Every structure is written in C-alpha cells, then in structure tokens.
Amino acid sequence: MNIVVAIKHVPSTADELELNDDGTNLDFDEVDFVLNEFDEHAIEQAVLVKEAAGGEVTVVGVDVIEELDGVLHTALAKGADKAAKIVGDIEPPINSHTHARWLADAIGEMGPDLVLTGVQAVDDLDGQIGPMLAAHLDMPYVGVVTGVSASNGSVTVHKEYPGGVMAEFEVSLPAVIGVQAAEKPPRYAPISKIRQMAKSAEIEEIDADEDFEYEGCELRQMAKPVSAGHAEMLEGDAEEVAEKIIALLEDRGLL
C-alpha cells in the first residue's frame, strides 16, 4: 500500500511567542518551528499500518523556513521509507489553502492509496488541510480519527464522538484521513538513527507552484490577551484562610 503522510512545520509554543511589529502575525524570526503534534500521530499511524499490512510510507511537507529536513529525518528514523519537501521562495505564514494546494499537487503525483494527515495544526486551528486535500485529489475524507487498519482495497477507521460514542467507518481507497491520535503513542526516534538518516537519506525536492495565490481572507490583527486581573494567594493556616474567605465573601455582598 502506498501511504503518504502530509505534514506541517508549525511554530513551537515551548517559548513565549513574539509578535511582529505591526501586530499582524508572529515574529517568525523569533520563533522555533516544530512538527505539528497531530502530524506526529499521522506518521505513527502510517508506520503502524505499514507494519501491519505492508507497503511504503512517504512523508511530505512544505519547507516553510528551510528547516524541514530534521523533521523528515526523524520520520524516516521512525520507519517512513521516503521523504519529500516542497520548496521554493517561501516565507511564513503560508495559509492553509496554499498549503493544501501545494501538498495536493505533490501528493497527486505520488499516486497514493492512503493519505494521512494531522486533523488540525496549532498555527491556524483550521482543520482544513485534510478536507481540502481530499477535495483537490477527489478522494473521500474522514477526520478526527483515532485508529486506522487496512484491509483489501479499503481501510477501517475509528472515530470517537462526544458522549463516549465510538464509530467505525469503512472507507474505500484512495482516501484522505485526518488523524486525531494514532493507536499507540508516537514512538521515540533514537537520535543516532536520525543522524544516520541525516547522513544517508535522500529527500526529494518538489517545486512549489509560486503563482498560486489565495485571497479569501486575511489575518488583520494578532495580539496577546490583556490580563484582566491576577489571583491573590491567601496566606496563613486553615483558620486564618477561612476567615479571609468569609471576609472576602462578605465584602462582595455574597454572605
């Protein structure tokens, strides 16, 4: 089975985020990029399907800040077979329509049986890459999936609804699946394997269609929430704290 995983490099939230001067987006010179967490699950799920049913896993993403190689090497160390990056004169931010267009162009050429991608990403909280990929590639789509197993010509996917209801879908292939969580937690990639990949692996480069432009909506402003107040810690032993609470409640006319 030819499995393709579409991934996205997104700003890391490990550091405090800095905004650019005109407040229209992040200051991309001041943020580190990491692999979108849901895409980590998509990679894990793809490798699990490959291990169970055989096949080949290709990981592809847009090289937004020219640092995608590390992510691709990690995916290869985890069991992916091939890696590709979409390159060009690219500057962040890339909106999800452009992202989906470029990914679809690349993936279409690969002739996939199954396309997996993270159900959403922290950079835009759109959740649109999967559905748009499916539309571009003319394939069915199921999102928010928590497990994929392959059988002849189709895959069975699981999806969890609110209220503790589980659903099972049979999806005919080829198809696009938006992964919420892999069946198992993403595996650890030993650094020495990643370094081996960095030395030996070849990453295919695919040119982005830089003429594509999407003008549907525009991010007007990005700002940090202004803190409305702060918590006050009540010090002292239980008795004292209790008295303070009562005083506070009385003060506000609640007692």
Partner 1 sequence: MLTTTERILFVLMALILGGLTAILFYGIYKIIRRGRPAPPRENVIPSLIGAAIDVLLQRPMFRSRPVLSVFHAFIFFGFSYYFLVNVTDVLEGFVPGFELIYGGQGPLEPLPDWPINLFNLIADILSVLTLLGMIVFLVRRFITHDKRLEFNEGVLLNPKVQQGWIRYDSLIVGVFILLHVGSRFLGQALRLAENGRPDPFMPFASAASFLFRGLSEGAFTFGIHLTWWLALGLILLFLPYFVRSKHIHLMVAPLNLGLGKPGPRGELDPATPPGSDDDAEPGAKYVQDLAWPRLMDAYACIMCNRCNDVCPAHSQGLVLSPAAVEVNKRWLFNEHFADFAYRGNLPDMPLTQHVISPEAVWACTTCYACVRVCPVGNEPMADIVDIRRRMIIEGEEMDSGIQTALESLAKNGNWFGKGSRARARWTKGLEFKVKDVTKEEAEYLWFVGDTASFDARVIPITQTVANVFQQAGVDFGILGRAERNSGNDVRRVGEEGLFEQLAEDNAAAFGKAQFKKIVTTDPHSLNALRNEYGPFVEENWEVLHYTNLLLELFESGKLSVSKPLSHYRVTYHDPCYLGRYNGEFSAPRKLLEILGVEFQEMPRNCENSYCCGAGGGQIWLGITPEGERPAENRIREALDALAPSSNGAAADDKQLLFVVTCPKDVIMYTDAVKTTGNEGKIEVRDMIQLVEEAISG
HSE, CB side, 13 Å, CA atoms: give it for residue 99: 28
SS3 146: strand
Residue 136 or 193 with smaller CB distance to partner 1: 193
H or E element: which one contains 47?
helix 37-53
Q: Does 224 bind partner 1 (CB under 8 A)?
A: no
Distances (CA, A) of 59 to 6, 22, 68, 82: 6, 35, 11, 6
Q: Secondary structure of 5-21 in the HEC alphabet?
A: EEECEEECCCCCCCECC
Residue 190 or 236 with smaller CB distance to partner 1: 190
Binding pattern for the stretch 182-221 against partner 1, x by CB under 8 A and - elsewhere? ---x-xx-xxxxxx--------------------------
- Residue that the structure tokens 């969580």 belong to: 181
Residue 153 or 190 with smaller CB distance to partner 1: 190
Q: With CB under 8 A as the contact rule, which of the stretches 7-15, 85-93, 115-123, 202-210 interacts with partner 1?
A: 7-15
Residue 13 or 172 with smaller CB distance to partner 1: 13
Distance CA 79, CA 70 (A): 15
Shortest distance, position 192 Cβ to partner 1, whole Å: 3
Q: Does 16 bind partner 1 (CB under 8 A)?
A: yes
- Residue that the structure tokens 């659903």 belong to: 167
Q: What are phi and psi of 120, to 5 degrees?
A: -160, 175
Q: Does 27 bind partner 1 (CB under 8 A)?
A: no
DSSP 8-state code for residue 159: E
Q: In this structure, which amino acid lies at residue 45?
A: Q
Residue 42 or 137 with smaller CB distance to partner 1: 42
Residue 195 or 224 with smaller CB distance to partner 1: 195
Q: What are phi and psi of 83, to 5 degrees?
A: -140, 145
Q: Does 29 bind partner 1 (CB under 8 A)?
A: no
Q: Does 236 bind partner 1 (CB under 8 A)?
A: no
Shortest distance, position 210 Cβ to partner 1, whole Å: 30
Distance CA 141, CA 150 (A): 15
Shortest distance, position 102 Cβ to partner 1, whole Å: 25
Q: With CB under 8 A as the contact rule, which of the stretches 84-92, 102-110, 181-189, 203-211 interacts with partner 1?
A: 181-189
Residue pair 183/163 in contact by the 8 Å Cβ criterion: no
Residue 32 or 205 with smaller CB distance to partner 1: 32
Q: Does 7 bind partner 1 (CB under 8 A)?
A: no
Residues that bind partner 1 (CB under 8 A): 12, 14-16, 32, 34, 185, 187-188, 190-195
